[in-house]
Structure 1
Amino acid sequence: MNLYLKYLSIQFRSQLQYRASFWLLTLGQFFIPFSVFAGLYLLFDRFGQLQSWSFFEVALIFGVIHMAFSVSECFARGFDAFSSLIVRGDFDRLLVRPRSMALQVLGSQFEFTRFGRMLQSAVVLAWAIANLPIDWSFAKAVTLLLMIACGVLIFTGIYMLFATMCFWTVQGLEVANVFTDGGREMAQYPLNIYGRWVKMFFTFVIPFGCVNYLPMLYILGRTSGPSIGYMAMPLAGALFMLPCLLIWRIGVRHYRSVGS
């Protein structure tokens, strides 16, 4: 952790060298997602509800998934931009250092301007919570935090999977955006509005439904069975990271250097 915090400090100070640019980009990241949220607001303003879901219930789902995405985009940017390390041959330098490859790639790049997107997500989250009659308890508060934390792990795992593909393709694949940006757009709505195959895929393959929709049913008091199962659902995000880490290690072992 000391090494990781040093990476954070170095990257943060380097990005603050151009303060005006940094703060303008952060401000832009705060306002850009509002266009998406405005679309959500206008949808409910026109139709009132979405399959029995009210505006503030969907806003709570929106806030959780966008918070998870912005945190992952900020702190896992090294995997998202991993192809540049392969193209420039910089990954060879990482291999000779006596530290974890995953840690070094995580520390290679951070996007602190994404703090603006995090703040916007926090505002939506707080607004939704303030307008919902939720009977809060310690268990529900922990469940909400687990939803955000494990959502971060899912997005990070996806970045890691497509970074691993760069060992064979060299350049990054734009198809990754289907699962990161596309997954975010899909998961900002309740999962039950989609078709069966979508619900199955985003529950058992990429478990966005387990970190957003299913535990949200428990928080909103929409469940009829034992609560413990819904509370534990976000942990599927942690389980999703295990095969991602395994595939990453396989990719590292098969890396053959760029040569010179």
Structure 2
Amino acid sequence: MRLYFKYMAIHFKSQMQYRASFWLLTLGQFLVPFTVFAGLYLMFERFGQLQGWGFFEVAMCFGVVHLSFALSEFFARGFDAFSSLVVTGEFDRLLVRPRSAALQVLGSKFDFSRFGRMLQGAAVLAWAVYGSNVEWTAAKAATLALMVAGGAFVFTGIFILGATLSFWTVQGLETVNVFTDGGREMSKYPLTIYEKWVTGLFTFVIPFGLVSYLPLLYILGRPPGGPDALYVLMPLGGALFLLPCLLVWRFGVRRYRSTGS
């Protein structure tokens, strides 16, 4: 971890060489996602509810998902941009160093302007928590924190799977965005509004439902059944999802052949 934080410090110093550009980018990352949130707000202004869900309830789901995505983009940006390392042959250099390839890829890119998007997600989440009628307990607060962390793990796992595909395709595939950007946009709403096969895919295969929708039902006091502890622990499914993604990554590294760049 000491090496990881050194990578982070180096990237931060390099980006702060152009401070005006950095702060403008951060401001843009903070303001631009509000256009999406404005669409959500206007929809509820017009229709009042969404299949029995109120504005602040959906806003809480929105805030969790967007904050999770921003955290993953910040800490795992190296995997999202990994194909460039394969194309240029830079990944060969990483392999001959006496450190984990995954750690070096994580440390290869940090975009500190994403901090603006984190603030935006946190602001929406704080407003939703304040405006909701939830009777907060320590267990519910812990569940909310685990939802954010679990969502970040899920997005990171998808970034890792997309990076692994680059070992065979060289260039990154835009189809991966179906599960990153598409998963983010889909999971900011309750899963019950979608077809059953979509709900099943994004609950049992890519566990967005385990880190957002189902724990949120417990927080709102409307769980479909089962012990409360089960819903508190459900967001840990995001961390479990990360394990097979890392195994697939190791499989890809072992079969990597240099591009010869």
Same-fold status (TM-score > 0.5): yes
Unaligned runs of 5+ in 2: none
1:193 is displaced (CA, Å) by 1.0
Q: Secondary structure at the match of 1:142?
A: helix
Take 1:100 and 1:217, find their aligned partners in 2: how far apart are those partners?
A: 39
* Equivalent AA in structure 2 for residue 79 of structure 1: F
Q: Which residue of 2 aligns with 1:152?
A: 152
> Which residue number corresponds to residue 251 of structure 2?
250
User: What CA deviation, in whole Å up to 9, does each residue of 1:57-87 have, x standing for no partner?
Assistant: 0000000000000010111110000011001
1:170 and 2:170 equivalent? yes
Aligned partners of 2:26, 2:109: CA distance in 1, in Å? 16
Q: Which amino acid aligns with 1:77?
A: R
- AA paired with 1:243? P
Q: Which whole-Å CA distance do the structure 1 matches of 2:69 and 2:124 have between them?
A: 14
Say whether 1:103 aligns with 2:100. no
CA offsets 1:86-120 (integer angstroms, 9 cap, x no match): 01110011001111111100000011111111101
Q: Percent of counterpart pairs with the same letter?
A: 70
Aligned match of 2:114: 114
Alpha-carbon distance, 1:135 to partner: 1.3
**Contiguous gaps of at least 5 residues in structure 1:** none
**Shift in Å at residue 134 of structure 1?**
1.3
**In structure 2, distance between residues paired with 1:191 and 1:234:** 16
CA distance in 2, matches of 1:189, 1:32: 19
Secondary structure at 1:110 match in 2? coil
Work out the CA distance in 1 between the residues paired with 2:49 and 2:80: 36
Q: Shift of residue 225 of structure 1?
A: 3.1
Q: Tell me how far 1:171 sits from its aligned partner.
A: 0.4
| Alignment map for 1:44-123 (pairs within 5 Å) | 44-123=44-123
Structure 2 SS opposite 1:127: helix
TM-score normalized by the length of structure 1: 0.98
Q: Which residue does 2:229 correspond to in 1?
A: 228
**1:156-187 alpha-carbon deviations (Å, 9 max, x no partner):** 00000010010111100011111100000000
* TM-score normalised by length of structure 2: 0.98
Q: Which residue identity lines up with residue 96 of structure 1 in the other structure?
A: V
Superposition RMSD in Å = 0.8
1:259 Cα shift? 2.7
1:213 alignment counterpart: 213
CA drift of 1:258 comes to: 2.3
In 1, Cα distance between the equivalents of 2:51 and 2:234? Answer: 23
Q: Deviations over 1:222-242 (max 9, x none)?
A: 124311111111111111111
Q: Which amino acid aligns with 1:99?
A: R
